[in-house]
Amino acid sequence: MFELKSKKIISLEGGSQVLFARSGKAKHISLCVKPVKGVRVAVPYRVSFTKAEDVVYSKTGWIKKHLDKMDQLEQEAIE
């Protein structure tokens, strides 16, 4: 019997961290950017972390845009 790794964290260019988490509910790879929590990727059990990483690297522009937006919202909340 073997155990699937359920979580993985990588760092993108610029220091942003991305959390990959296995999800029994996920049918597709899903990207989510939230204030404070950052970037989370739901990975279905039938998809490898390598494939999910490829998707994240192909969406770095989208991720950066949304992280910048979250930073701006956090700064506005502080002021």
> What global pTM score does this model have?
0.82
Whole-number Cα distances in Å, 20 to 42, 46, 62, 69, 78 = 6, 14, 17, 21, 29
Token pair 């490898």 in the structure block, residue: 48
pLDDT at 2 over 80: no
**Taking a C-beta distance cutoff of 8 angstroms, is the pair 20, 8 a contact?**
yes
- Report the pLDDT value the prediction gives residue 47, as an integer from 0 to 100: 93
pLDDT, position 60: 92
Please, which pLDDT band fits residue 4 given cuts at 50, 70 and 90? Answer: low
Q: What is the mean pLDDT of residues 4-15?
A: 83
How much is the average pLDDT of 30-52? 92
Q: How confident is the model at residue 71 (pLDDT cuts 50, 70, 90)?
A: confident
Residue 34 neighbours by CB distance under 10 Å: 10
Contact indicator for 38, 24 with CB cutoff of 8 Å: no
